[in-house]
A and B are shown apart, each in its own frame.
Chain A
Amino acid sequence: MAKKVIIKKPIPISIKEAIQKKKDWMKEIQSGNIFLPNSKPKRIA
């Protein structure tokens, strides 16, 4: 069971932005428009 932590203030902007960036990244992938560097991915396992 996760411990509950009550923070009596609104969610900080930095965290809100991070959540939004993650959502945007996920949308990029679903739409097939993900930005990746030009280098070929290297197999590691």
Chain B
Amino acid sequence: MLNSEIYPIFIVDGLSFFDEIYTFKTEKGIDFYVRFVNASHYFSEICASCQMVHEVSFESTVRNGGLDIKISNTIRKIIYLFIVKHESPVMFTCDSTDNLNHCRNKLFKNWYDQWEQKDLFQLEERTIVFDDYILNLGLIAYKWDPNIKEYLKQIDAGSLG
């Protein structure tokens, strides 16, 4: 199977200007939803450029539907389409309440490493340790994004929230 094979991708209209949902159906009939929501709550309000950062998350109607390379290809393609369309960085966060945050983080990292358009983008990863919670976070942005240092400065300085 070619690494570039994907499922047909659909965009759901009618949401707010900044939020978008993409959807696709697998050969097994499983519906996948990939959502982008504004992630400004992760940054200080004084960082104007940070207000454009979006968080990506995805879910399917059936979990553990079996290994299907076209699923990861399609989600990678959706993330690429979103970044190109909006020229906005995308971040992912991995919840640690079930102790599977490292697995999810690794998944995103693997996807990034296999990305055909990897030369255009950079991935920055952070493990944010709060008193009561650990948040694994990744930020994907164009390599030429002039604000990348500002996003990271905010995160590294503990400006989250």
Contact = CB atoms under 8 A, between A and B. Distances in A.
Interface in A1-45: 1-19, 22-23, 25-26, 29-30, 32, 34, 36-39, 41-45
A23 B95 contact: yes
Interface string B60-99: 1101000000000000010001000000000001010000
Contacts of A43: 8-10
Contacts of B5: none
B57 to A, nearest CB: 5
Interface residues of B, number: 47
B130 A9 contact: yes
Contacts of B130: 7, 9-11
A39 B33 CA distance: 16
B59 A19 contact: no
A18 B93 CA distance: 10
Q: What 7 A-B pairs come out closest when comparing CB atoms?
A: A12-B161, A37-B14, A2-B125, A41-B10, A11-B133, A14-B41, A45-B9
Interface of B: 6, 8-15, 21-23, 31, 33, 35, 37, 39, 41-42, 55, 57, 59-61, 63, 77, 81, 93, 95, 105, 125-133, 135-136, 138, 155-156, 158, 160-161
Interface of A: 1-19, 22-23, 25-26, 29-30, 32, 34, 36-39, 41-45
